[in-house]
Structure 1
């Protein structure tokens, strides 16, 4: 089995993912959008000048179809939160990552903390402060631990 992969992102996380994926005998080629200097130096890896924002998803999808990509691997959580999985699902290319709704658990700390509190999942104490004016007095009232 020879897989063509598309890794989305340009940070150190993506470099580490690509470095390890490139070691697999099952992987033929890895494209990284947009990639970085580290990913560009790896064998069988090509950086692609397409961004990773929601505005770039259609370009990424067209590129993936052209290159016969077998799997998309988003590095940062933002493309997942923005719905990259939905775009690729529509064209039949699997994405290693959750749906936009599920990705919100990672993308929004307030949402994940509220979820844990609602379902009695142990977590550190927290307070969600939606109005900026209320934050300063609340922060001043919190004990400081060094």
Structure 2
């Protein structure tokens, strides 16, 4: 499994995955000091989609889990799915609700959810 991110959420995810008898290896990129205790830190930036794709393909990674919004907003899920790889996270289109405040506000207005003026 490859976990993308370097925060506390990704640390806990790595720790949990590492304790599963169904997971043989856990990698995290870029990771942090804490994640090195439960996963292999890999020095690839989370916005380097082609670098991440290459790493996953060359290391026979069965599942990639994406934490941060930047790789999601860059379309990492779309790219991985187009290549037949298993990845957990929203598509570029679906991630707009998080990555674009204007998109989120317009959506709320469109579906009638009360929100502050903008």
Q: TM-score, normalised by structure 1?
A: 0.75
In structure 2, the gaps of 5 or more residues are none
| SS of match in other structure, 2:24 | strand
Residue of structure 1 equivalent to 2:33: 37
Residue of structure 1 equivalent to 2:53: 61
Residue of structure 1 equivalent to 2:69: 77
Which digits, 9 at most, give the CA deviation of each residue in 1:24-67, with x for residues without a partner?
A: 2211111111111111011xx211011101xx111111110111
Alignment partner for residue 101 of structure 2, among 109, 113, 116? 109
Alignment partner for residue 14 of structure 1, among 10, 35, 44? 10
Q: TM-score, normalised by structure 2?
A: 0.92
Alignment partner for residue 52 of structure 1, among 46, 58, 62? 46
Number of corresponding residues: 118
**Higher gyration radius (CA):** 1
Aligned equivalents of 2:16 and 2:79: distance in 1?
A: 26
1:90 deviates by 2.5
Aligned residues: CA RMSD: 1.3
Aligned equivalents of 2:100 and 2:82: distance in 1?
A: 25
Aligned equivalents of 1:117 and 1:127: distance in 2?
A: 10
In structure 1, the gaps of 5 or more residues are 129-146
Aligned equivalents of 2:117 and 2:8: distance in 1?
A: 31
1:104 deviates by 0.5
